[in-house]
Amino acid sequence: MNTQELIKIEDDYFINTFTRQPVVLDHGEGVRVTDIDGKEYLDMFAGIAVNALGHNHPKLVKAIQDQAEKLIHISSIYYNEPALIYAKKLIDKTSFDRIFYANSGAEANEGAIKLAIKYTGKSEVISTIESFHGRTSMTLAATGHADYQEPFKAILPNGFINVEYNNIEALKEAVNENTAAIIVEPIQGEGGVNVPDIEYLKEIEKICNENDIVFIVDEVQTGFGRCGTLFAHELFDVKPDIMTMAKGIGGGVPMGGILATEKVASAFVPGDHGTTFGGGPLVCAAANAVLDAIDEENILDNVNEVGEYFMEELKKLDKEIIADVRGKGLMVGLELTKPGAEYVDKLREAGFLINCTAGNVLRFVPPLTITKADIDEFVKALDEIL
Ligand SMILES: Cc1ncc(COP(=O)(O)O)c(C=O)c1O
């Protein structure tokens, strides 16, 4: 079947939820993906900041293959070695004490909010406008987008307050004796790659400590090296009570998780939360391979070096249409003075995959293995197209 025939199957049979780019991708290698017609693209999007190691990474593929031959799924009723090994390996690298394995970012956030509610016995959660935390009813209530919430207002839980991002006074005003948790992205992704002031997270930590509020960082998009440190909150020198993760954790296999301090984690007892698939051997084998590769292949150094170079090159583009260049590591946004959708199309036609978020921010979240030569190729094309 050709591209048009395949896409028609979605039109005819899928529940209509996504606006997709009109390409059917077939295979990938490193930072390149190829569609069914053999056209190659430089992947500056990495499956929405997921393919941290790029495509067809030999160690990741081998880890998945080897594990698939042994055991794919056993449920949460039994122990499996990859999940146990991974928990210790990851926690040793962070300020947290305990892990819960989930399957997606939304599910991780849902569990994190439940944990904060159970720990504090309180009922309100503060999140930020333009944030993104997921599409389940509780995470949708936390996601500060009135347009996403509007059709489902009738079933959204009470107790969620959305305040302006990077505005500590707005947060202080919203805090009250019922506040259980404050949840923020260290850098907002879907909201337009918004980097807060350096003291913002520190101030949140202080408010939380003073009022016995649970501080949750949503690192679903920023985690696993994306911003140049293993987790982006490290850049702000804070120790949150809970961190949620997904996307890059498994390098492409669907996985998520919650990390929490001993104090907060102890609020959950058996029966409070669970999942059939979470922490399965297959995804945990993949996660082990990703974490090992981040260390063994000096991925963080690459993110910092190439990320800085990328931002410098973008800042050199002298175009009236560019309103701002911002980001950290390999999470970069180019704000335009007009809607960005047409540039996504033009770049795709020229062989580059990107996306546009918040209407006018071109977002670049390539594999963390990307090189300066790839960046040169991309920036040249972007320059011509803009
Ligand atoms: C910061 C953040 N949190 C949560 C989510 C939801 O993750 P998922 O789509 O895996 O449910 C996303 C997805 O883009 C995200 O960027």
* 52 within domain boundaries: yes
Residues with CB under 6 A from ligand 1: 48, 104-106, 109, 132-134, 185, 189-190, 218, 220-221, 246
Closest CA to 45 of 381, 336, 332, 384: 332
309 contacts 364 by C-beta, under 8 angstroms: no
Strand 355-357 with 242-245, pairing? unpaired
Exposed e or buried b for every residue in 263-301, given b needs 16+ CB within 10 A?
ebbebbeeeebebebbbbbbbbbbbbbbbebbeeeebbe
Provide DSSP, 302-328: HHHHHHHHHHHHHHH---TTEEEEEEE
CA of 83 to the centre of ligand 1 (A): 22
CA of 134 to the centre of ligand 1 (A): 5
| 112, 128, 173, 220, 247 from 141: Cα distances, Å | 14, 11, 19, 17, 21
Query: In angstroms, what is the C-alpha Rg of the chain?
Result: 21
* 219 within domain boundaries: yes
- Beta strand residue intervals within the chain, DSSP E: 25-29, 32-35, 40-43, 98-102, 124-128, 160-163, 179-184, 214-218, 242-245, 256-260, 322-328, 331-336, 352-353, 355-357, 361-364
**Model confidence over 326-361: pLDDT tens digits?**
999 999 999 999 999 999 999 999 999 999 999 999
Question: What number of other Cβ atoms are within 10 A of residue 144's Cβ?
Answer: 22
CA of 211 to the centre of ligand 1 (A): 28
Q: Looking at ligand 1, which atom is closest to the CA of residue 185?
A: 1
Number of domains in the chain: 2
269, 130: one domain: yes
**Model confidence over 265-303: pLDDT tens digits?**
999 999 999 999 999 999 999 999 999 999 999 999 999
104, 149: one domain: yes
Structure tokens at 378: 């991309």
pLDDT attached to residue 25 = 98
192, 53: one domain: no
pLDDT attached to residue 192 = 97
Summarize the confidence of residues 318-330 as an average pLDDT: 97
338, 254: one domain: no
- Domain with residue 10: its CATH number is 3.90.1150.10
Mutate to test the pocket of ligand 1, among 51, 101, 130, 133 (most ligand atoms within 8 A of CB): 133
* 244 within domain boundaries: yes
pTM value is: 0.98
d(CA 97, CA 94): 8
101 contacts 275 by C-beta, under 8 angstroms: yes
Q: Three-state SS for 81?
A: helix
Of 261, 296, 331, the last residue of a domain is: 296
Identify the domain containing residue 42 by its residue range: 3-57+298-385
189 contacts 196 by C-beta, under 8 angstroms: no
76, 51: one domain: no
Mutate to test the pocket of ligand 1, among 137, 218, 219, 220 (most ligand atoms within 8 A of CB): 220
Question: What number of other Cβ atoms are within 10 A of residue 379's Cβ?
Answer: 17
Of 249, 269, 296, the last residue of a domain is: 296
d(CA 221, CA 200): 19
265, 203: one domain: yes
pLDDT band at 320 (very low <50, low <70, confident <90, very high): very high
**Strands laid side by side in the 124-128 sheet:** 98-102, 256-260, 242-245, 214-218, 179-184, 124-128, 160-163
Mutate to test the pocket of ligand 1, among 221, 226, 231, 242 (most ligand atoms within 8 A of CB): 221
CA of 238 to the centre of ligand 1 (A): 22
268, 362: one domain: no
* 199 within domain boundaries: yes
Q: Looking at ligand 1, which atom is closest to the CA of residue 247?
A: 10
256 contacts 246 by C-beta, under 8 angstroms: yes
317, 351: one domain: yes
Whose alpha carbon is nearest atom 7 of ligand 1?
105
Strand partners, 322: 336
Strand 256-260 with 352-353, pairing? unpaired
Whose alpha carbon is nearest atom 9 of ligand 1?
105
230, 312: one domain: no
Summarize the confidence of residues 130-153 as an average pLDDT: 96
d(CA 175, CA 338): 36
Q: Looking at ligand 1, which atom is closest to the CA of residue 135?
A: 11
* 63 within domain boundaries: no
* 321 within domain boundaries: yes
CA of 360 to the centre of ligand 1 (A): 20
137, 254: one domain: yes
| 63, 128, 193, 245, 292 from 285: Cα distances, Å | 6, 34, 31, 16, 11
The per-residue pLDDT of the chain, averaged, comes to: 98
Of 296, 323, 357, the last residue of a domain is: 296
Residues 6 or more apart whose CB falls under 8 angstroms from that of 134 comprise: 104, 105, 106, 107, 109, 110, 140, 142, 143
Q: Three-state SS for 239?
A: coil
Closest CA to 242 of 363, 365, 133: 133
Summarize the confidence of residues 213-224 as an average pLDDT: 98
362, 245: one domain: no
126, 150: one domain: yes
Structure tokens at 200: 């913002």
* 66 within domain boundaries: no
CA of 318 to the centre of ligand 1 (A): 33
Mutate to test the pocket of ligand 1, among 247, 249, 283 (most ligand atoms within 8 A of CB): 247
CA of 88 to the centre of ligand 1 (A): 24
pLDDT band at 40 (very low <50, low <70, confident <90, very high): very high
CA of 217 to the centre of ligand 1 (A): 12
Question: Quick one: CA torsion of 101, 106, 111, 112, rounded to 10 degrees?
Answer: 100
CA of 130 to the centre of ligand 1 (A): 13
CA of 128 to the centre of ligand 1 (A): 14
